[in-house]
Amino acid sequence: MDAALELRDLRKSYGDVQALDGVDLTVPAGSFFGLLGPNGAGKTTLIKILVGLVRKTGGDARVFGHDVETDYREARDRIGLAPQEFNVDQFFPIREVLEHKAGYHGVPLDQARDRADEVLKRVGIYDKRDTRFDWLSGGMKRRFVLARALITEPDLLILDEPTAGVDVQLRHELWETIVDLNQRGTTILLTTHYIEEAERLCDEVAILDSGRVLDVASPEELMRRG
Ligand code: ATP
């Protein structure tokens, strides 16, 4: 079976800045994988390459065997992304935003509504379905971004710091939702600054620093090594 993610000597430079400096990484299908690293390590750049927002300057990246550039559509359709920034249509009711997104990915309208309702229930904001995005609280916005990532029923869910700036209770609720998705077979790639978050959730963690993978191990192993 193909790995969910396979990176070989992946490189990206922005002018003089070497954001990714030869990353080799394999994320097994079905795993809960963490990407841990300080600010500027290259985590967001790596994710943007996977979803076609940034062009790599070298190496290879495959999603379930599909090259992210030459097989862009196939690779992209397997991924659901909950990004760090909220890049959402502010002015439409959130259920409509989800229906549009599903439609864009080829889901017929009647099914799109059912799916939108289902993911809104899953993340616990179904009662806000007719509200505009910019009228949601910060925590609800986080939940919505997760719902939007789920609308295409992705095989690889990428979460870029999904619990940054949320309170403890919401953090635990989001964790529960994500763990449940992983147990149903979705591969998860999660970036975080919090070692506790990685320890709590991940089977395996890669440490990224200055565009390189320094280590790949289970969280227990990393804690043991200090
Ligand atoms: P954070 O944890 O702060 O989100 P990160 O690990 O996601 O950091 P990146 O955002 O990938 O790191 O940035 C890696 C490096 O690439 C940084 O030095 C950053 O300044 C640089 N960089 C990122 N995007 C651009 C860009 N569009 N133009 C120029 N440099 C960039």
Distance, CA 19 to ligand 1 centroid (Å)?
6
> What global pTM score does this model have?
0.92
Binding site membership of 41 for ligand 1 (Cβ less than 6 Å) = yes
**How far apart (Å, rounded) are the C-alpha atoms in residues 2 and 134?**
40
How close is the Cα of 85 to the center of ligand 1, in Å?
13
Output Rg (C-alpha) for the chain, integer angstroms: 17
Residues in the chain: 226
Give pLDDT tens digits for 146-170. 999 999 999 999 999 888 878 888 8
Q: How confident is the model at residue 109 (pLDDT cuts 50, 70, 90)?
A: confident
* Residue 119 CA to ligand 1 centre (angstroms): 31
Measured distance CA(124)–CA(143) in Å, rounded? 8
Q: Which of 25-29, 134-138, 199-203 has the highest mean pLDDT?
A: 25-29
Query: 84, 161 in Cβ contact below 8 A?
Result: yes
| Average pLDDT across the chain, whole number | 92
Is a pLDDT exceeding 90 seen at residue 183? Answer: yes
Helix, strand, or coil (residue 34): strand
The answer to whether the CB of 169 is under 6 A from ligand 1 is: no
For residue 162, the 8-state DSSP code is T
Query: What sign does the dihedral 192-197-201-202 (CA atoms) show?
Result: positive
User: Ranked by mean pLDDT, which of 47-51, 80-84, 101-105 comes out on top?
Assistant: 47-51
Which of 12-21, 82-91, 146-155, 156-165 has the weakest average pLDDT?
Answer: 82-91
- In this structure, what token pair is assigned to residue 17? 């800045």
CA distance 207 to 222: 9
